[in-house]
């Protein structure tokens, strides 16, 4: 156990948060701009996209509610916000821009929710929480990027809305590997359960759709 882990344990962090059915899958911002190291990508985002392909296929086979998010700003930038002041280049993600389109490997299917967003969290200012609640979700499995940004913000908000977040560790990625690792550690201590894709899909009670 590291010194940090020991401090967190002594202070009461890191308690178990067992996943409970029904389950839902949230895929955060796996769009072309974040898959491209020359744009907003890099680090381990590419491998995370590939790992999520199998997770998405299993989620569909098991009948889970599935939501995808993409960053989309108005063509005239009228919906620019504080985030856009910190990262002006994000305004390039317009409706028809290549960078704002979903990566080919993870295209949404009919019946899956697409959340358009201009803030880090998938929940802020969107219908996502109500959509998940209407479908009875208790646990939200989270994939996407970046681990330190929109994934983290979405995980925190999922917890605030009363869902049990599970961060699928090999299905999330970040342009910075140290930021990826630090944020996984922190989310695991405070907000979420950390599991690999195979651990998630191997859980006994996760089989059989929503039962």
Backbone angles phi, psi at 78, to 5 degrees: -65, -20
Decide if 196 contacts 169 (C-beta within 8 A). Answer: yes
Catalytic, 51? Answer no
Say which residue the tokens 């006994």 belong to.
Answer: 204
One of 145, 150, 160, 171 is an active-site residue; which one?
150
Nearest residue to 141 (alpha-carbon basis) of 162, 167, 179, 177:
167
What does the chain come to in residues? Answer: 211
Q: Residue 94 carries which DSSP code? A: B
Across the beta sheet with 113-117, the strand order is: 113-117, 66-71, 23-28, 139-145, 164-173, 193-195
The CA distance from 199 to 193, in Å, is 11
- Catalytic annotation, residues: 150
């Amino acid at each position: 156990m590291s010194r940090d882990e020991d401090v967190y344990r002594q202070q009461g962090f890191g308690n178990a948060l067992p996943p409970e059915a029904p389950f839902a899958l949230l895929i955060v911002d796996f769009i072309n701009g974040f898959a491209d190291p020359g744009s907003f990508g890099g680090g381990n985002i590419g491998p995370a996209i590939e790992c999520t392909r199998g997770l998405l296929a299993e989620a569909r086979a098991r009948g889970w509610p599935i939501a995808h998010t993409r960053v989309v700003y108005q063509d005239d930038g009228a919906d620019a916000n504080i985030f856009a002041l910190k990262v002006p280049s994000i305004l390039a993600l317009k409706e028809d821009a290549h960078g704002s389109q979903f990566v080919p490997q993870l295209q949404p299917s009919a019946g899956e929710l697409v959340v358009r967003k201009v803030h880090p969290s998938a929940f802020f200012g969107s219908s996502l929480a109500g959509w998940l609640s209407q479908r009875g979700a208790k646990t939200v499995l989270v994939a996407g990027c970046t681990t330190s940004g929109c994934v983290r913000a979405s995980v925190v908000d999922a917890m605030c809305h009363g869902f049990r977040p599970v961060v699928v560790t090999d299905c999330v990625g970040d342009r910075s590997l140290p930021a990826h690792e630090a944020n996984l550690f922190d989310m695991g201590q405070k907000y979420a359960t950390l599991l690999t894709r195979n651990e998630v899909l191997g859980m006994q009670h996760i089989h059989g759709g929503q039962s």
